[in-house]
Structure formats: structure tokens, C-alpha cells
């Protein structure tokens, strides 16, 4: 059995000469390289020290706003996702129905719409919000952004959490019960350590998506990275403003991706042969 298995695993011999597939492949790679070189050469030729000196501080400041927006909403979202995930897994019809509706709404509508609803929609209920003392919070655009983003990411994170917990075999619960551990102990000491390994990748994806989606807050007057890029463009009419901001997002996403990969390598050592 093992002999045939090894035979099957061996890759097919490399084709000789220039079959059509290889030509197309090389052509595509060349196209991408040309595209990348085009952008780089544009940036080199269009290098404008004055533009950089004028707007770089604003970009940095915007980067700070973007990072704190994403960090705060991810953490708040993570806290809020726990009861939602609990509701989704609950046998109580009402609880699970409510949690399902929450997740259904926030995953089924664009984040842009949710942000607009919070900012302009809640804004038109000022008298009511003032009487309950919440207007000071919602008056600020940054707070509105965090609120909308936290609600949105809580829905996604709840599903990640639920999926991860349900991926742990039922036998683990039963085994723990037979050892006399109560439910919370089982969850904390046995289930979650295994579930979070599964959840790491989806969490990483969600974080990356949030970093990119955070550009939305620029239209509700938050001067995040994108907001400052729009401002730089408005003052200069120079497309560079957007190319630089794209590069900053690219670097951020790339750093996050590598960080997540590094963590995954560390926490899955026991699974490697």
C-alpha cells in the first residue's frame, strides 16, 4: 500500500519545450512584472519632495487614527462577540433567534451603509439621544466609526468563535465531563485552547479586512489615513496622494499577514511532524 502511495505522490515529469500553458504563464508573469515596474517608475519619476514634506506628517497622523480605530473596534467587537456566539449556540429558541438576526443583519449589509446609518441616522435623533445623555458620544465622528465597526466585527467574530468551538470534537466535552470538570472549566482549559488555534486564521483575516474597511470612515469626516489622502488630493489634484496611501495599506496588511503566520507557526508546533 505504501509503495503505491509514494508513487502517486511523485509529481509528473516536467514538460519539455514550450507548451502553450508555459508560454501563457511566462507572458502573464512578465505582464505583472511590467505593471509593478510601471508603478515603481511612476513613483520615482513623479517623486516630489515638496509633496512628501507637506503631507507626510498628515499621513502619519492619519495612520495613528486608523490604527487606533481598528484596534479599539476589534477589541470591543471581540468582547461583544462572546454573548452573540453564546446565543448562536444556545438551545434557547429566542436567544439563538436574536443572535441569528444580529449576525444576519450585520453580515448581510454593507459596512458603508451601517456607518452611514449610525452617523447620519442616529444624528437625526439628537433630542432623544440628548435626553438619555448619549449625544456627547455620538456627536463625535470617530466614536460613531468605532461604534459601527465594533457592531459589525462582533457579528463576524461571533461566527468565527462559534465555528472554532464547534470544530472541537464532542468527545472532548464528554471526556472532560467524565473527569468531573464543570462546563466553564472545560471551556477554558480544554476547548478554547484547541478552538483558538483553529480561529487564528479567520481572526487574522478579519483584522486585515477591518484595516482595509476602515478607509470608509473618511466619508464621515474622520481624518484617518484615507481621509488625509483625500485631503492631500483635494489640495494638489495629484494621483500620488492615492498611490502612497495604497502602499501604506499594503505594507500594513503585509506586516499583519506575516505576524499572523509567525504566531500560527508558534502555536501549531505540536501538530507538526
- List residues near another protein by CB under 8 A: 41-42, 45-46, 120, 123-124, 126, 135, 139, 141, 219, 221, 223, 227, 230-231, 233-237, 239
Q: Which is nearer to another protein, 103 or 144 (CB)?
A: 144
**Shortest distance, position 42 Cβ to another protein, whole Å:** 5
Closer residue to another protein (CB): 33 or 46: 46
Instruction: Give the CA diameter of the chain.
Output: 78
In angstroms, give the least distance from the CB of 75 to another protein: 26
Q: Rounded to an integer, what distance in angstroms lies between the CA atom of residue 59 and that of residue 248?
A: 9
Q: Which of 102, 112, 55, 52 is nearest to 82 (CA)?
A: 102
Task: Give the DSSP letter string of 125-157.
Answer: THHHHHHTT-HHHHHSHHHHHHHHHHHHHHHHH
Q: Which of 151, 164, 166, 161 is nearest to 80 (CA)?
A: 151
| Best CA proximity match to 238, nearest among 54, 64, 40, 36 | 54
What are the grid coordinates assigned to 132, written together? 438619555
H helix runs in 124-239, sequence order? 126-131, 135-139, 141-167, 170-178, 183-186, 192-213, 225-236
For residue 97, the number of C-alpha atoms closer than 13 Å in the C-beta half-sphere is 3
Amino acid at each position: 500500500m505504501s509503495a503505491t502511495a509514494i508513487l502517486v505522490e511523485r509529481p509528473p515529469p516536467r514538460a519539455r519545450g514550450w507548451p502553450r500553458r508555459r508560454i501563457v504563464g511566462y507572458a502573464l508573469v512578465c505582464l505583472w512584472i511590467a505593471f509593478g515596474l510601471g508603478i515603481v517608475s511612476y513613483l520615482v519619476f513623479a517623486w516630489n519632495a515638496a509633496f512628501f514634506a507637506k503631507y507626510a506628517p498628515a499621513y502619519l497622523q492619519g495612520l495613528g487614527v486608523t490604527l487606533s480605530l481598528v484596534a479599539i473596534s476589534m477589541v470591543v467587537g471581540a468582547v461583544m462577540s462572546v454573548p452573540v456566539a453564546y446565543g448562536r449556540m444556545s438551545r434557547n429558541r429566542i436567544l439563538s433567534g436574536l443572535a441569528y438576526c444580529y449576525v444576519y443583519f450585520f453580515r448581510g449589509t454593507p459596512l458603508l451603509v451601517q456607518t452611514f446609518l449610525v452617523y447620519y441616522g442616529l444624528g437625526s435623533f439628537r433630542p432623544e439621544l440628548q435626553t438619555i445623555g448619549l449625544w456627547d458620544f455620538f456627536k463625535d465622528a470617530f466614536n460613531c466609526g468605532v461604534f459601527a465597526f465594533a457592531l459589525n466585527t462582533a457579528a463576524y467574530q461571533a461566527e468565527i468563535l462559534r465555528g472554532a468551538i464547534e470544530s472541537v470534537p464532542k468527545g472532548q466535552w464528554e471526556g472532560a465531563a467524565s473527569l468531573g470538570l464543570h462546563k466553564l472549566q472545560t471551556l477554558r482549559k480544554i476547548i478554547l485552547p484547541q478552538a483558538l488555534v483553529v480561529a487564528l486564521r479567520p481572526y487574522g483575516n478579519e483584522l486585515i479586512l477591518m484595516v482595509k474597511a476602515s478607509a470608509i470612515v473618511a466619508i464621515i469626516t474622520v481624518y484617518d489615513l484615507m481621509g488625509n489622502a483625500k485631503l492631500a488630493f483635494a489640495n494638489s489634484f495629484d494621483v500620488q496622494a492615492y498611490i502612497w496611501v495604497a502602499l501604506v495599506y499594503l505594507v500594513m496588511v503585509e506586516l499583519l499577514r506575516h505576524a499572523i503566520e509567525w504566531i500560527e507557526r508558534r502555536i501549531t508546533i505540536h501538530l507538526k511532524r
